[in-house]
Amino acid sequence: MAIKVQIPTPMREQTGGKAEVEVAGGTVKAALDDLLRQFPGVGPKLFDNGKLRPYVNVFVNDEDIRYLDEMDTKLTDGQTVALIPAVAGG
């Protein structure tokens, strides 16, 4: 199953410059596990002690996963997961 993960600029050093990475997984957690398997350098930028860092928001097809099932949010083929810094606005 192909899921696209959009990578924010400062993480692209860890993805070989790629702005979008194809991963497999039936949930957000599985998809991000696969991202880390392919590009281990992303790990410390995205997670702290196994928990998603508080200043990164994760969106599935433009919906914040905190309003879905968080890391257990189900994914289907062709969906896009976007990792977006959360420090804008106001």
Partner 1 sequence: MPSNDFVLGLKCRVCGKLYPKAANFYCPDDHAPLEVAYDYEKVKPHVSRAKFASRPRNMWRYRELLPLDGEPTVGPQVGGTPLVRADRLADALGVERLWIKNDAVNFPTLSFKDRVVSVALSKAREFGMRMVGCASTGNLANSVAALGASAGLETVILVPADLEKTKIYGTAIYGAKVVKVSGTYDQVNRLCTQIVMEYGWGFVNVNLRPFYAEGSKTVGFEIAEDLGWRFPQHVVCPMAGGALIGKIYKAFNELHATGIVDQPVTTKMYGAQASGCNPISDCVKSNRERHKPVKTPNTICKSLAIGDPADGYFAANLIRSTGGWAEDVSDPEIVDAMQLLAKTEGIFAETAGGTTLAVARKLIESGRIPRDEEIVICVTGNGLKTQDAVFEALEEPATIKPSLAEFKALAGLSQPAAEPVLA
Chain residues that interact with partner 1, rule: CB under 8 A:
8-10, 44-45, 48, 53-57, 59, 62, 64, 66-67, 82, 84-90
CB of 79 to partner 1, least distance (A): 16
Could you tell me the smallest distance in angstroms from the CB atom of residue 27 to partner 1?
21
Name the residue nearer to partner 1 (CB basis): 17 or 89. 89
Sheet of strand 20-23, all strands in order from the earlier edge strand to the far edge: 20-23, 3-6, 80-85, 56-60, 63-64
Beta strands in 19-79 (DSSP E): 20-23, 47-48, 51-52, 56-60, 63-64
Taking the least distance from each CB to partner 1, the nearer of 44 and 78 is 44
